[in-house]
């Protein structure tokens, strides 16, 4: 492979430089310890070059020992001293400049043995990288999502909010880390050549390749610059699996800030491999999906990964590898079919300057298409926007998952008509209409008592006192009345709760119904007590100002009757002279005037009696409505208001504050 050839060429160059005594950059001990394993793996592949690399390694170690012996013998003299100073300074700088815990795979030897690879000063390594900064819209969306989760914790199950909570935690954790680095994972199926592509991009054989499946057992990290240690720590990659790419000024300038992760196979037979892939994919800033001509349409890839991650198209590369195996125009045909499948998955393709996934074809074995991928990666990393776009896509995915519990596309709420109907049902349950009618009858009865003729009142008193029971039984007892009233109250509560919860998502509709059920407890008893305290007393209705005059006129009519009657009796007894005209006239005036005054008073009392009954009914209705509002309607309104708040927050999360159905 190209990477192996470059490695061998570098090893031979460095070895030759060591033998000639030219200044060269010493490798850290960790690199020397790590190289035999990599070379041993390369020899195990069986490509015929393994024995040569092992021999080169042995010669290189002998050359280093020889240079050290020459330096020790020459002491502080001449060129040996100068070479020793350069070697010592380079070794110290190499150990100090890469202080992020990575195992240095730095191939510092170049074809020109007279030049040393540049080493960053110690101060640059000690300076902490600037943390990631989110722009205003993304911060607002994260704040809205955090508020949304806080308002919903008591209404939704913890599992429903788990993904949103994870997104918030990961966004906060990523914000504290370097904003100058972009973590890109290379993912693919078995045999897709992702590890080979990883090595080709790094310029050195870092990840093991071979025909044995699965080959990659754990994620391996390769960083092109300092300051990425905390990012790699977040991925849980140990120090023994951290590498450096082949040192090249052009590559470092193009890919500076890139942290490349080689993942295990996502379709590996080992369960722990798939678990590692799923875990790391949630933490990286971008993903390079490597597919081959045989498995590019694999259902596992599309259904388990690509389709669920369709919203992450802007931080996604899809690379068709091993195009050297396709004859003629077959590579273009396979690439077009791959684009078609990605379009069916809902993945936007970054074509014609539009944001979306980058789709490329290449061959990691021959190097075809690698420069295009390097250029695309370099531009992608230079923008420094992948981490924020990844967080934004995660927020979109979390919002889409939460949509069924926040938006249904239907209008919801408690209308004024529903409120009035509920109050009317409660008023009927407490008998407000009957109470008003009773108050009206009481007014009329009192008016009759005050303005009626004495003889009629005496007769009514006699009937009431000496009335014999007829044996009739009441059809409805007091218990039946109370049971009926309770049923009416319960029916009113169920009706208003159903109307209030109509159109709400299931969790919020359930919360509304539960609030109504809690408020209905003790409502019938409260209404009964309220009716007893609020109802107007039928025995003491107010008396209008004309009542005394009516009573005086009625008394005068009665007195006229008595005077006329006594006058007639006196004439009959011979006490007075006979004169029937005046006594008869007085008696007729009293007999006719008394009922006439009574009838006039009754007609005059109808209006006030009706208003009195209406006032009694209104007061009882208002009392029942107030009790129902405090116990049922207000809790319902509070739940609906909470839902309105979370719906507005959800609109901000989805950047659709104009209204969510």
Q: What is the pLDDT of residues 126-175, one digit of tens each?
A: 467 888 889 899 999 999 999 999 989 888 888 999 999 999 999 999 99
Residue 93 has pLDDT above 50, yes or no: no
Q: pLDDT (tens digit, 9 = 90+) per residue, 478-530?
A: 555 566 778 888 888 999 999 898 888 888 899 999 999 998 888 888 887 77
Considering only residues 21 and 343, tell me which one the structure prediction assigns the higher pLDDT.
343
Same domain, 283 and 394: no
Report the pLDDT value the prediction gives residue 472, as an integer from 0 to 100. 45
Residues 6+ apart with CB under 8 A from 213: 190, 191, 265, 268, 269
Q: Which of 4-8, 146-150, 555-559 has the highest mean pLDDT?
A: 146-150
Closest listed residue to residue 230, CA positions, set 281, 179, 279: 179
Q: Look at residue 478 in the predicted model and tell me its pLDDT.
A: 52
pLDDT at 376: 94
pLDDT given at position 539: 52
Give first-to-last CA distance, the chain, whole Å: 57
Q: What is the total count of domains within the chain?
A: 3
320: β partners? 291, 361
Do 167 and 208 belong together in one domain?
no
- Do 635 and 497 share a domain, yes or no? yes
Q: How far apart are CA 431 and CA 188, in angstroms?
A: 75
Give the DSSP letter of residue 261: E
Is there a domain that residue 466 lies in?
no
Assess whether pLDDT exceeds 90 at residue 221.
Answer: yes
* 77 within a domain of the structure (yes/no): no
Of 30-39, 347-356, 485-494, 540-549, where does mean pLDDT reach its minimum?
30-39
Structural domain contains residue 490: yes
Q: Which of 343, 372, 405 finishes a domain?
A: 405
Residue 245's closest CA among 185, 201, 286, 285?
201
In this prediction, residue 589 carries a pLDDT of 80
Segment 575-593 shows an average pLDDT of 77
The pair of structure tokens assigned to 261 is 């992760």
The predicted structure's pLDDT at residue 381: 94
The percentage of the chain sitting over the pLDDT mark of 70, rounded to a whole number, equals: 71
Confidence check: pLDDT of 658 > 80: no
Say if residues 567 and 576 touch (Cβ distance below 8 Å): yes
> Rounded to 5 degrees, what angle do the CA atoms 74, 75, 77 make?
70
Is residue 103, in this structure, part of any structural domain at all?
A: no
650 — pLDDT class (breaks 50, 70, 90): very high
User: Could you tell me if 372 and 331 are in contact, meaning their C-beta atoms sit under 8 angstroms apart?
Assistant: no
Mean pLDDT of the chain: 75
Residues 139 and 158 in one domain: yes
Contact by Cβ (8 Å): 342, 359:
yes
| DSSP codes joined into one string, 433-489 | HHHHHHHHHHHHHHHHHHHS-HHHHHHHHHHHHHPPP-----SS-HHHHHHHHHHHH
Using pLDDT thresholds of 50, 70 and 90, give the confidence band for residue 384: very high
Nearest CA among 307, 300, 235, 220 for reference residue 266: 300
Q: Are residues 561 and 624 in the same domain?
A: yes
- pLDDT surpasses 50 at 442: yes
Q: Are residues 489 and 573 located together in one domain of the fold?
A: yes
- The answer to whether residues 493 and 606 belong to one domain is yes
The answer to whether residue 39 is domain-embedded is no
Cα separation, 261 vs 321, in Å, equals 17
Q: Which residues contact 622 (CB under 8 A, 6 or more apart)?
A: none
Containing structural domain, residue 156 = 132-179+384-405
Question: Which CATH number fits the domain that encloses residue 357?
Answer: 3.40.50.300
- Residue 214 maps to a domain: yes
The owner of tokens 């052009």 is: 250
Contact assessment for residue 531 and residue 620, using Cβ atoms and an 8 Å cutoff: yes
pTM: 0.66
* Per-residue confidence band for 457, with pLDDT thresholds at 50, 70 and 90: low
Do 260 and 373 belong together in one domain?
yes
263 pLDDT above the threshold of 60: yes
Cβ atoms of 311 and 397 closer than 8 Å: yes
Residue 89: pLDDT band by 50, 70, 90 thresholds? Answer: very low
Sequence-distant contacts of 373-376: CB under 8 A, at least 24 apart: 373/201, 373/317, 373/319, 374/201, 374/251, 374/254, 374/255, 375/254, 376/317
Q: Distance (Å, rounded) from C-alpha 121 to C-alpha 88?
A: 15
> Are residues 373 and 350 part of one domain?
yes
Indicate if the pLDDT at residue 342 is higher than 80: yes
> Between these two residues, 622 and 320, which has the higher pLDDT value?
320
Q: Does 513 fall in a domain?
A: yes
Q: What percent of the chain shows pLDDT beyond 90?
A: 36
Please tell me which residue, 374 or 440, carries the higher pLDDT value. Answer: 374
Q: 181, 129 in Cβ contact below 8 A? A: yes
Cα 536 to its chain centre, rounded Å, is: 54
Flag the least confident range among 273-277, 323-327, 654-658: 654-658
Residue 183 pairs with which residues in a beta bridge?
259
Question: Closest by alpha carbon to 412, among 630, 628, 636, 631?
Answer: 636
Kindly state the helix (H) or strand (E) to which residue 592 belongs, with its residue range.
Answer: helix 581-628
Structure tokens at 379: 């531009």
CB 538 within 8 A of CB 554: no
Coil, helix or strand for 190? coil
* Residues present in the chain in total: 661
Pair 323, 374 in one domain: yes
For the chain, the helix, strand and coil percentages under 3-state DSSP, each to the nearest 5: 65, 5, 30
Longest dimension (CA), the chain: 177
Least confident of 254-258, 262-266, 521-525: 521-525
Q: Return all residues near 401 (Cβ < 8 A) that are at least 6 apart.
A: 163, 164
- Round to whole Å and give the CA distance between 98 and 106: 10
* Confidence label for 551 from pLDDT (cuts 50, 70 and 90): confident
For tokens 């499946």, the residue is: 213
Question: How is residue 629 annotated by DSSP?
Answer: I
Alpha-carbon dihedral angle through residues 578, 584, 590, 595, given to the nearest 10 degrees: 160
Alpha helix positions (H), 75-161: 78-97, 122-126, 136-152
Confidence of residue 608 (pLDDT cuts 50, 70, 90): confident
Same domain? For 140 and 209 the reply is no
For residue 317, what pLDDT band results from cuts at 50, 70 and 90?
very high
CA distance 382 to 180: 9
Alpha-carbon separation of residue 34 from 116, 203, 316 (angstroms): 22, 16, 32
| Distances in whole angstroms, Cα of residue 353 to Cα of each of 356, 358, 429, 593 | 9, 11, 69, 105
Write the DSSP assignment of 210-244 as a string of letters: -SSSS---S-EEEESSSS-HHHHHHTT--GGGEE-
Q: Please, what is the Cα angle at 259 between 343 and 222, to 5 degrees?
A: 115
User: Which of 34-43, 263-272, 375-384, 445-454 has the weakest average pLDDT?
Assistant: 34-43
Q: Are residues 370 and 438 in the same domain?
A: no
Q: Are 347 and 313 contacting, i.e. CB atoms less than 8 angstroms apart? A: yes
> Would you say residue 602 lies in a domain?
yes
At 49-69, the pLDDT tens digits run 333 343 344 444 434 444 344
């Amino acid at each position: 492979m190209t990477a192996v050839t470059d490695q061998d060429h570098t090893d031979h160059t460095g070895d030759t430089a060591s033998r000639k005594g030219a200044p060269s950059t010493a490798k850290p001990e960790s690199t020397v310890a790590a190289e035999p394993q990599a070379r041993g793996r390369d020899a195990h592949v069986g490509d015929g070059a393994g024995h040569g690399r092992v021999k080169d390694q042995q010669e290189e170690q002998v050359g280093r020992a020889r240079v050290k012996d020459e330096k020790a013998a020459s002491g502080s003299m001449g060129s040996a001293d100068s070479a020793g100073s350069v070697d010592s300074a380079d070794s110290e700088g190499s150990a100090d400049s890469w202080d992020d815990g990575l195992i240095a795979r730095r191939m510092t030897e170049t074809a020109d043995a007279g030049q040393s690879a540049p080493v960053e000063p110690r101060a640059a390594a000690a300076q902490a990288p600037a943390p990631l900064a989110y722009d205003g819209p993304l911060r607002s969306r994260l704040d809205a999502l955090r508020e949304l989760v806080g308002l919903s914790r008591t209404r939704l199950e913890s599992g429903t909010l788990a993904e949103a909570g994870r997104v918030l935690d990961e966004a906060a954790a990523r914000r504290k880390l370097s904003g100058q680095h972009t973590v890109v994972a290379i993912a693919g199926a078995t045999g897709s050549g992702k590890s080979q592509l990883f090595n080709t991009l790094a310029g050195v054989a870092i990840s093991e390749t071979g025909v044995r499946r699965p080959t990659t057992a754990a994620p391996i990290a390769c960083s092109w610059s300092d300051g990425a240690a905390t990012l790699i720590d977040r991925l849980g990659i140990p120090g023994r699996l951290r590498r450096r790419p082949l040192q090249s000024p052009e590559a470092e300038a193009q890919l500076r800030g890139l942290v490349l992760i080689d993942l295990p196979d996502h379709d590996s037979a080992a369960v722990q491999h798939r678990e590692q892939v799923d875990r790391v994919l949630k933490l990286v800033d971008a993903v390079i999906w490597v597919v081959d001509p045989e498995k590019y349409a694999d259902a596992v890839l599309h259904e388990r990964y690509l389709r669920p991650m369709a919203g992450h198209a802007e931080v996604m590369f899809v690379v068709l590898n091993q195009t050297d195996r396709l004859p003629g125009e077959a590579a273009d045909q396979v690439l077009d079919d791959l684009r078609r499948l990605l379009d069916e998955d809902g993945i936007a393709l970054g074509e014609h300057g539009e944001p979306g996934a980058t789709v490329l074809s290449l061959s990691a074995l021959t190097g075809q298409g690698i420069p295009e991928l390097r250029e695309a990666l370099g531009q992608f990393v230079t923008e420094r926007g992948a981490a924020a776009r990844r967080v934004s896509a995660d927020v979109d995915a979390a919002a889409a998952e939460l949509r069924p519990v926040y938006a249904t596309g239907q209008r919801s709420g408690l209308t004024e008509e529903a409120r009035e109907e509920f109050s009317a049902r409660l008023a009927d349950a407490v008998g407000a209409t009957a109470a008003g009618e009773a108050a009206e009858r009481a007014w009329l009865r009192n008016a009759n008592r005050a303005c009626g003729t004495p003889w009629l009142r005496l007769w009514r008193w006699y009937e009431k006192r000496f009335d014999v029971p007829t044996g009739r039984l009441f059809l409805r007892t007091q218990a039946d009345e109370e049971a009926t009233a309770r049923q009416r109250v319960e029916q009113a509560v169920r009706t208003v709760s159903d109307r209030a919860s109509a159109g709400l998502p299931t969790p919020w509709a359930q919360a509304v119904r539960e609030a109504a059920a809690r408020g209905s407890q003790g409502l019938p008893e409260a209404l009964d007590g309220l009716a007893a305290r609020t109802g107007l007393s039928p025995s003491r209705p107010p008396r209008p100002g004309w009542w005394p005059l009516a009573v005086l006129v009625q008394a005068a009519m009665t007195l006229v009757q008595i005077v006329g009657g006594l006058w007639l009796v006196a004439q009959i007894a011979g006490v007075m002279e006979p004169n029937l005209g005046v006594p008869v006239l007085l008696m007729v005036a009293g007999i006719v005037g008394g009922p006439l005054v009574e009838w006039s008073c009754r007609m005059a009392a109808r209006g006030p009696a009706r208003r009195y009954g209406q006032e009694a009914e209104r007061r009882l209705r208002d009392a029942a409505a107030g009790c129902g509002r405090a116990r049922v309607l207000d809790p319902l309104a509070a739940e609906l208001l909470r839902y309105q708040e979370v719906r507005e927050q959800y609109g901000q999360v989805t950047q659709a504050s104009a209204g969510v159905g």
